[in-house]
Structure 1
Amino acid sequence: MSKIKILLVEDDPNLGDILKEYLGVKGYEVILCRDGEEGWNKYKKNYYQLCLLDVMMPIKDGFTLGKEIRKVEESIPIIYLTAKNMKEDVIQGFRIGADDYITKPFSMEELLLRINAILRRTNSQGEKTVLKSYEFGNFTLHYDKQLLEGPQGTNKLTSKENELLRLLAASLNENVSRSFALKQIWGDDSYFNARSMDVYLSKIRKLLKTDDSVQIITLHGEGFKLVVN
């Protein structure tokens, strides 16, 4: 089973490194960013099952980042980390959709308990969060509209193309097994469905040819993955 991925945005280098190492030891995959702008760029290019956002950050603060994330995905859990203990900040955090709020200094064990509780409550340990859009290379997949926007314009996708590309984009640079993809999209991994999927993969590859940095790599005997160089 793939690790649960957490987006951690914390401008304090010592705390950020400690949190990343601690949560990594506890079995989570943590992507660490040092400011809100970097956090936003990382969020747009991958999927995450939980966000840990520091409130006071340069370039873009945690509340602003949280609002932007909420516009894209309403249900992803967000925990705010802050050195403040003002009632107004707590209220603002929950007003814009915080799932929890923890004030520095805090114990690592307490943070871990809160993360685990939220993930159990939101069932984020199941299927990867479905976003409205995914960015990879010079492409944007508008999953909610079945549109692929790229360097040469916008293409309308069939439902199968849309689902297959979403599955690949949600696991960017990670292997997706053939059996898993077939069961998720076609319902079973029969020979005929596998041949059908190969046809759709071929069509998607043609659409992606306009960006040399993006390709779908076949891993014989394993599956395939969408790679951005």
Structure 2
Amino acid sequence: MSNIKVLLAEDEASLGMIVKESLETRGFTVFHAENGEEALEIYHKENVDILVLDVMMPQKDGFTLAKEIRLENKQVPIIFLTAKSQTSDVLEGFNHGGNDYLKKPFSMEELIVRIKSLLNRITLKPNVESIKIGNYSFNYTKQTLTNYTTEEKLTHREAELLFYLYQQKNQVLDRTFILNKLWGNDDFFNARSMDVFISKLRKKLKNDTTIQIINIRGFGYKLIC
């Protein structure tokens, strides 16, 4: 994986330069913006592979920026940098289209692992037009879940989680595997976050009573359809 183009939006100039220079010494191409408006301009000019966005920025915060970009691009990976660690803050980031988050302070090695993991995950995804799950039609690429005349929009994290559940349908999806794959590690905080996303998927699939997402305590989840 070479010549990865990163859009880094970080308003703290010294931290931004440190991250930029550290990534560049490892072969990345980095476009650094110090506010959300500047970041959006760069995004429209450059064909970047991934966005690393600080949450708290002047002119346009990271959540707002991500929400606007998601209206144009559903696929580009987004990592949030945040000093916040409350579950509600992290979930807000995911709901605005984020794929991952990194709490400050962080190590460059961890950031690079997260970047490469997200890009590997994107390249491994098929261009899925339609997957049948009971009476639903699931489109991973468009992140939609359609049942007869109704269509639900899924977040990135919801679409990824449902895709892995479908791949293992009627079998147990290992809890540790999916936490490491989608959240980066299997700590308690991320496990609680995953439980919330499982609950959201259950609600969005509730109109077909033949579909169940069962919690296999101590092992993981099973999509029955």
TM-score by length of 1: 0.52
CA distance in 1, matches of 2:69, 2:22: 25
CA distance in 1, matches of 2:97, 2:33: 21
2:73 is matched with which residue? 73
CA distance in 1, matches of 2:15, 2:46: 23
Q: Is the 8 A contact 2:83 2:103 kept in 1?
A: yes
CA distance in 1, matches of 2:83, 2:26: 24
Q: Secondary structure at the match of 2:102?
A: strand
Q: Secondary structure at the match of 1:85?
A: coil
Task: Supply the AA of the counterpart residue of 1:109.
Answer: E
Cα root mean square deviation, aligned: 1.5
Deviations 1:67-126 (A, max 9, x none): 1111111100000001111211100011122110011011111111111111111129xx
Q: Secondary structure at the match of 1:74?
A: coil
After TM superposition, the structure 1 = structure 2 runs for residues 51-66 of structure 1, keeping only pairs within 5 Å, are 51-66=51-66
1:41 aligns with 2:41: yes
Deviations 1:8-43 (A, max 9, x none): 000011110011001111111000000000001111
Task: Supply the AA of the counterpart residue of 1:21.
Answer: E
1:101 is matched with which residue? 101
2:150 is matched with which residue? none
Structure 1, unaligned runs of 5 or more: 125-229
CA distance in 2, matches of 1:121, 1:101: 16
CA distance in 2, matches of 1:123, 1:49: 11
CA distance in 2, matches of 1:97, 1:67: 6
Structure 2, unaligned runs of 5 or more: 125-225
CA distance in 2, matches of 1:99, 1:73: 13
> Residue 45 of structure 1: CA displacement?
1.5
Task: Supply the AA of the counterpart residue of 2:78.
Answer: I
Q: Secondary structure at the match of 1:84?
A: coil
1:24 aligns with 2:24: yes
Give the stretch that moved more between structures: 114-123 or 28-37.
114-123
1:122 is matched with which residue? 122
Task: Supply the AA of the counterpart residue of 1:39.
Answer: A
Q: Secondary structure at the match of 1:123?
A: helix
Task: Supply the AA of the counterpart residue of 1:20.
Answer: K
After TM superposition, the structure 1 = structure 2 runs for residues 206-225 of structure 1, keeping only pairs within 5 Å, are none
CA distance in 2, matches of 1:103, 1:72: 27
TM-score by length of 2: 0.53
> Residue 2 of structure 1: CA displacement?
6.7
CA distance in 1, matches of 2:111, 2:46: 23
CA distance in 2, matches of 1:49, 1:9: 14
After TM superposition, the structure 1 = structure 2 runs for residues 144-223 of structure 1, keeping only pairs within 5 Å, are none
For the pair shown, the structure with the greater C-alpha radius of gyration is 1
2:111 is matched with which residue? 111
CA distance in 1, matches of 2:112, 2:64: 24
Task: Supply the AA of the counterpart residue of 1:24.
Answer: E
Give the stretch that moved more between structures: 42-51 or 27-36.
42-51
